[in-house]
Amino acid sequence: MANETPRTSVQTTGHVWDGDLQEYNNPLPAWWIYGFYITVAFAVIYWIIYPSWPFGKGFLPGVNSITYVNAEGKEESWHWNTRAKLLKETQDAAAIQKPYYDKIASLSYEQISKDPELSSFVLSAGKAIFSDNCAPCHQAGGQGKIGHFPNLTDDDWLYGGSFDKIHESILKGRRGYMPPFAEALEPAQIDALAHYVLSLSGQKAEPAKAAEGNKLFHSQTAACYYCHGDDAKGRPIIGSANLTDKVWLWADVPGARDDAARVAAVRQVIANGLNRGVMPAWEGRLKPEQIKLLTVYVHELGGGK
Amino acid sequence: MFKFKHENLETNAGILLVATMLAISIGGLVEIAPLFMIDSTMEKVDGVRPYTPLEQRGRDIYIREGCYTCHSQMIRPFRDEQLRYGHYSLASESKYDHPFQWGSKRTGPDLARVGGKYSNEWHVQHLIKPTSVVPESVMPNYPWLLTTPLNYADIGDRMRALRITGVPYSANAEEYQRNVAQFGEAVAKTLHIPDAQKNLVAQAQEGNYDGDRTNVTEMDALVAYLQVLGTMVDFRQYKPEDLVKYR
């Protein structure tokens, strides 16, 4: 092998390493060369059209421009850049949605939910707004999370499930509050109340303790009836819970392992109270027509009244 | 006359070295260097201020826990990003970040405007166990944040280090007055290094980020930091086309 001569007629670079290693001096392939020239030409065209070379305190803006509508409602052009492009695209998309939002703004809630075309817009646009703003707490399907965030798909509403009440909740937010009773009541009294509260919705409870809890509930000592009502069905005007249904938010009764754990879950709420039920206000974050659309969407999740 | 031949370059290590350095510095020269000269690089907007001591410690924890490996803090000017994350990020919004947390890897969502989007309660639950509020989440649990007391003994040193990089924390009365003029008195007070520990504890107690006012935990700091992200500039003050013209 060592003395073999090159098998082609291509010239070598002239170097010889280690006595026999040589290097061919092939020209670059024509397709590659012309491809390279095309990229150079492309770059020059690109410099002319788009913002490119910096010089001094500025740069070449390019001849391409984007026309958008400014805050005064007049058309205005600026050299091509991604921010101008975004502004233009946002305005174009808003123009497509505008007929729907105009209708939503002018019609009543009932009319919106009965109009098939608007309903499908509410479903698709509402899903996007809900996913971004509501789902982190109320979960993707609106099912909420026991112990933290209310379920929006059932027909149990702390603050009312009518269109107007849902709208109010979204617009202004809510702040749930229940005072802690750990200091005001004896542990035995809290225990009795817990048994009574469980008995209200048909859960297993010791009758003697439940009877005592019943008395306490309606007494001035604990005064539970003050917020939850004489019938314990809650008062939507202040957001106090209905204790007679089997829907639980703060006390994880359905998830409790046994009877003792169920009592403990209720007792914990009575003892510590609640100061966490914060629903943020969306006024200012979302546009009025978006909030109206969201109202219909949440109402249609299943539990609207 | 000297005639340039490729062979001269390839057979002379010194010339090859210099020529290589020249070639690779072109990228930096045309892409980075002009940004220091061009007038419109930094938008002139109000409201951007250095982090308070508590927020700054939260930022340190954000970096310590490696949040940046999955979360970016840079909303690009695209419509899909604007719909999901909010207004695109401005250069001036990270001018006091050392190092900035822009990132380019999004396993989780962008956090540049996460401030004020969720309640403190949500953040606490989410950091303890993300799947408790986002079932499909792949984010790890960070339960120790709630139980670990925040070490803030060295907050003064941390602020002094940032001051060297140009963050306007004040170390003396003269600098404090400069901050009062630039940021107003309420903000200037939080930037004063000698009062850093006092301010940190006060903010943690007032903000009650982790739901327990009696202690200052790492959770307090991290939630305080997350809640301020992207909230400093009030975009209602600016017409969209004004920001377009900074490019």
- pLDDT tens column, B108-161: 999 999 998 888 889 999 999 999 888 889 999 999 999 999 999 999 999 999
Sort A192 into a burial class: Cβ within 10 Å, 0-12 / 13-18 / 19+. Answer: buried
Q: What is the mean pLDDT of chain A?
A: 90
Residue A37 pLDDT > 90, yes or no?
yes
pLDDT at position B2 is: 66
Q: What is the mean pLDDT of chain B?
A: 92
Residue A6 pLDDT > 60, yes or no?
no
Does residue A136 sit at the B interface (CB-CB below 8 Å)? Answer: yes
Does residue A139 sit at the B interface (CB-CB below 8 Å)? Answer: yes
**Residues of A with Cβ-Cβ distance to B42 under 8 angstroms:** none
Q: Check whether the bond before B99 is cis (ω within 30° of 0).
A: yes
| Arithmetic mean of pLDDT, A148-165 | 91
**Residues of A with Cβ-Cβ distance to B83 under 8 angstroms:** 128, 132
Burial B30-46 (b: 16+ CB within 10 A, else e): eeeebeeebeeeebebe
- Gap from B163 CA to chain A (nearest CA, Å): 28
What percent of chain B lies above the pLDDT cut of 90?
A: 75
C-alpha Rg value of chain A to the nearest Å = 35
Give the span between the Cα atoms of A18 and A20, in whole angstroms: 6
- Subunit contact A89:B79, Cβ cutoff 8 A: yes
- Subunit contact A57:B211, Cβ cutoff 8 A: no
Specify whether the CB–CB gap between A156 and A247 falls below 8 A.
yes
pLDDT at position B230 is: 95
| Arithmetic mean of pLDDT, A52-72 | 89
Give the span between the Cα atoms of A115 and A112, in whole angstroms: 5
Q: Which residues contact A284 (CB under 8 A, 6 or more apart)?
A: none
Show the tokens assigned to A161. Answer: 């499930």
Give the span between the Cα atoms of A276 and A176, in whole angstroms: 7
Higher pLDDT, A52 or B203: B203
Q: Which residues pair with A1 in a beta bridge?
A: none
What percent of chain A lies above the pLDDT cut of 90?
A: 64
Amino acid letter at A100? Y
User: In which element (H, E) is residue A77 found?
Assistant: strand A75-79
Residue A248's SS3 state is coil
Distance of CA A76 to the CA centre of its chain: 34
Higher pLDDT, A284 or B207: B207
pLDDT range class, residue A11, cuts 50, 70, 90:
confident
- Gap from A58 CA to chain B (nearest CA, Å): 5
Q: Which residues pair with A40 in a beta bridge?
A: none
- Gap from A51 CA to chain B (nearest CA, Å): 9
Give the torsion sign (CA, B91, B96, B99, B100): negative
| Half-sphere CA count of B113, side-chain side, radius 13 A | 18
| Arithmetic mean of pLDDT, B2-12 | 79
User: In which element (H, E) is residue A132 found?
Assistant: helix A116-133
Give the number of other Cβ atoms within 10 Å of residue A168's Cβ. Answer: 15
pLDDT at position A2 is: 52
pLDDT range class, residue A8, cuts 50, 70, 90:
low
Residue A104's SS3 state is helix
Specify whether the CB–CB gap between B82 and B88 falls below 8 A.
yes
Give the torsion sign (CA, B112, B115, B117, B118): positive
Residue B92's SS3 state is helix
**Residues of A with Cβ-Cβ distance to B37 under 8 angstroms:** 54, 56-57
Which residue in this structure is represented by tokens 């805050």?
A71
Residue B228 pLDDT > 90, yes or no?
yes
Higher pLDDT, B179 or A255: B179
Residue in A85, A87, A89 closest to B241 by CB: A87
Q: Which residues pair with B174 in a beta bridge?
A: none
- Subunit contact A57:B38, Cβ cutoff 8 A: yes
Residue in B40, B117, B241 closest to A71 by CB: B241
Of the candidates A154, A182, A166, the one whose C-alpha atom is nearest the C-alpha of residue A269 is: A182
- Subunit contact B38:A59, Cβ cutoff 8 A: yes
pLDDT tens for residues B12-47? 899 999 999 999 999 888 888 888 888 877 888 999
pLDDT at position A165 is: 94
pLDDT at position A7 is: 59
Overall size of chain B counted in residues: 247
Q: Which residues pair with A12 in a beta bridge?
A: A24
Show the tokens assigned to A41. Answer: 């030409």
The count of CB pairs under 8 A between chains A and B is 81
Of the candidates B183, B170, B133, B149, the one whose C-alpha atom is nearest the C-alpha of residue B53 is: B170
User: In which element (H, E) is residue A68 found?
Assistant: strand A65-69
Residue A176 pLDDT > 90, yes or no?
no
Give the span between the Cα atoms of A161 and A158, in whole angstroms: 8
- List C-alpha distances in Å: B128 to B71, B106, B125: 17, 21, 5
- Subunit contact A86:B247, Cβ cutoff 8 A: no
- List C-alpha distances in Å: A266 to A193, A194, B84, B124: 9, 5, 39, 23
- Subunit contact A145:B132, Cβ cutoff 8 A: yes
Does residue A81 sit at the B interface (CB-CB below 8 Å)? Answer: yes
Q: Which residues pair with A178 in a beta bridge?
A: A274
What percent of chain A lies above the pLDDT cut of 70?
A: 97
Q: What is the dihedral of CA A261, A265, A267, A271, to 10 degrees?
A: 140
Give the span between the Cα atoms of A192 and A224, in whole angstroms: 13
User: In which element (H, E) is residue B164 found?
Assistant: helix B155-164
- List C-alpha distances in Å: B7 to A13, A128, A171, A293, B4: 10, 63, 75, 72, 8
- Specify which of A75-89, A138-152, A272-286 reaches the highest per-range mean pLDDT: A75-89
- Gap from B116 CA to chain A (nearest CA, Å): 9
- Gap from B95 CA to chain A (nearest CA, Å): 20
C-alpha Rg value of chain B to the nearest Å = 22
pLDDT range class, residue B7, cuts 50, 70, 90:
confident
pLDDT at position B222 is: 97
Q: At what angle do helices A288-300 and A82-106 cross, to 10 degrees?
A: 60
Residue B214 pLDDT > 80, yes or no?
yes
pLDDT range class, residue A4, cuts 50, 70, 90:
low
Residue in B34, B239, B243 closest to A83 by CB: B243
Residue of A nearest to B137 (CA): A136
pLDDT tens for residues A214-246? 999 999 989 999 999 999 999 998 999 999 998
pLDDT at position A69 is: 93
Give the number of other Cβ atoms within 10 Å of residue A19's Cβ. Answer: 6
pLDDT tens for residues A231-286? 999 999 899 999 999 899 999 898 888 989 999 999 999 999 988 778 888 988 88
Residue A172 pLDDT > 80, yes or no?
yes
Q: Which residues contact A296 (CB under 8 A, 6 or more apart)?
A: A104, A109, A112, A113, A122, A126, A163
Q: Which residues of B touch A (CB under 8 A)?
A: 30, 34, 37-40, 76-79, 82-84, 88, 116-119, 121-122, 125-126, 132-135, 211, 239-241, 243-247
Amino acid letter at B37? M
Which residue in this structure is represented by tokens 């892409």?
B31
Give the span between the Cα atoms of B109 and B67, in whole angstroms: 11
